[in-house]
Amino acid sequence: MTPKNTLWALLALMFACGMSDALYAASHVHMPMWWILLSAFLLSFLPYYWYRLDSEARLYRRPRWMSTAVVAMAPIGIPLYLLRSRPQGGRLGSLARMSGFLLMMLGASLAGVVAFFLMPG
């Protein structure tokens, strides 16, 4: 899997999470534990997998503390990785692209909610 495909998988997961949130909120039942655990695992695993693929492609040596930060606190760990792994002139651009991707993730989640409510039946 390429880093780009990993990001597509993350967007698809956000869409599915949005749909499932809307489904369980509309039916007034609790979300099943298996879905909560699976989505939490994937929301930690996919950013780490992207980080691993990207760092290998750039021949960047990953410190253990940064790998832990990417898994445990991705909103902090990924920007740190981008700041440390990109050349001086490309850091701001990479942070801007990451911010755009975060907006796309939010949009995918909202699209999942809207798609659920637009489905017939």
Identity of residue 101: F
> How far apart are alpha carbons 81 and 53 in whole angstroms?
13
- Of residues 84, 90, 85, 83, the one with CA closest to residue 58: 85
Sign of CA dihedral 16, 76, 52, 88: positive
pLDDT tens digits for range 19-78 = 999 999 998 999 999 999 999 999 999 999 999 999 999 999 999 999 999 999 999 999
> What pLDDT, on a 0 to 100 scale, did the predictor assign at position 120?
82
Residue 121 pLDDT > 80, yes or no? no
Q: How many folded domains does the chain comprise?
A: 1
Q: Which domain holds residue 101?
A: 3-118
